Amino acid sequence: MSTALAHLRAELRSDSAALDETHRLIAELWGEVPLVSDRDRVLFSLAVAEIAANVIEHAHGEGWLWELDLSAWSDRLEASIRHPGPTVEQGFDTWEMPEELADSGRGLALANSASSLRYFHTTDPEGNEWLVVRVLTS
Amino acid sequence: MTSFATETIGTTLVVRPLGRLDLVSAPQLRDIIASSVANGIVGVVVDLHGVDFMDSSGLGAMINGLKATRQAGGNLRIARPAQQALVVLDLTMMQQILHPYASVEEAIAAP
């Protein structure tokens, strides 16, 4: 049975300072759950930061307010990222890497490779949710 | 806040980012490399030793630089990536294209 170990939440603006805050909140999470392995930390941090950057990039300076919710469980790490804005217009089950010399377009595929990634679009004011789940390896 | 130190060694520009190489700082790296190519220095080494976090935007800036230097007859190489950057290279299957050298000297001397 899975046990909740830690839960952190922040409401952020869609500006570059939000990336600093995202990394700060992730670091705070590691302080709460020191036994998470380095590899799980690297992969979860990467996935969460990629989605945060994606939200900031696609806000196009419109000053969205978005929510970052991090939780640690005995068997997994989870991040919920909720933001306003239009639906992401692509398949929501697979994210593929672009051709090898493309200099953009890897973010979602990279996040999905680092942890599992799910995308939900809702009609409530918060609009969209990304769910990142990293099942712990140790 | 990420900072960038640059040094010209022979005919190669060595760029040393310090901090995160991400959505915020990647444009600076692109600009530094583009400026170098415009000034005729088309050999670039990005020393990743001081990068504690790299994301797809940071990787994209280096691929952009790789293409810009190659089009001008040069090349871009990377050196001393930390474990986190190696994970990004591995997950994106970019280690063949951006081979990580163990030292700046080795990257400069590579054929």
Q: Which domain holds residue B36?
A: 3-109
CATH of the domain at B13: 3.30.750.24
CATH number of A4-135: 3.30.565.10
Q: What is the pLDDT of residue A88?
A: 65
Residues 6+ apart with CB under 8 A from B95: B89
Chain B residue with the nearest C-alpha to that of A20: B1
Q: Tell whether A45 is within 8 A of chain B (Cβ).
A: yes
Q: Do A103 and B20 touch (CB under 8 A)?
A: no
Q: What is the pLDDT of residue A61?
A: 74
**Where does A1-138 have alpha helices with state H?**
17-32, 38-59, 107-114
Tens-digit pLDDT profile for residues A20-42: 999 999 999 999 999 999 999 99
pLDDT band at A91; cut points 50, 70, 90: low
Amino acid at B101: Y
Q: To the nearest whole angstrom, how far is the Cα of B74 from the nearest Cα of chain A?
A: 16
pTM exceeding the 0.90 threshold for the entire prediction: yes
Q: Tell whether A46 is within 8 A of chain B (Cβ).
A: yes
- Is A76 in a helix, a strand, or coil? strand
Element (H, E) at B91: helix B83-91
Q: Do B91 and A57 touch (CB under 8 A)?
A: no
Q: Do B55 and A56 touch (CB under 8 A)?
A: no
Share the mean pLDDT of chain A: 89
Tens-digit pLDDT profile for residues B61-111: 999 999 999 999 999 999 999 999 999 999 999 999 999 999 999 999 998
How many independent structural domains does chain B possess?
Answer: 1
CA–CA distances in Å: residue A42 to residues A38, A119, B17: 6, 21, 19
pLDDT band at B27; cut points 50, 70, 90: very high
Chain B residue with the nearest C-alpha to that of A104: B60
User: For chain A, what are the domain ranges?
Assistant: 4-135
Q: Tell whether A42 is within 8 A of chain B (Cβ).
A: yes
Contacts for A62-65: CB closer than 8 Å, 24+ residues apart: A62/A14, A63/A13, A63/A14, A63/A15, A64/A13, A64/A14, A65/A11, A65/A12, A65/A13, A65/A14
3-state secondary structure labels for all residues of B57-86: HHHHHHHHHHHHHHHCCCEEEEECCCHHHH
CA–CA distances in Å: residue A92 to residues A22, A87, A120: 24, 11, 8
What one-character DSSP code corresponds to residue B95? T
Alpha carbon of residue B42 to chain centroid:
12
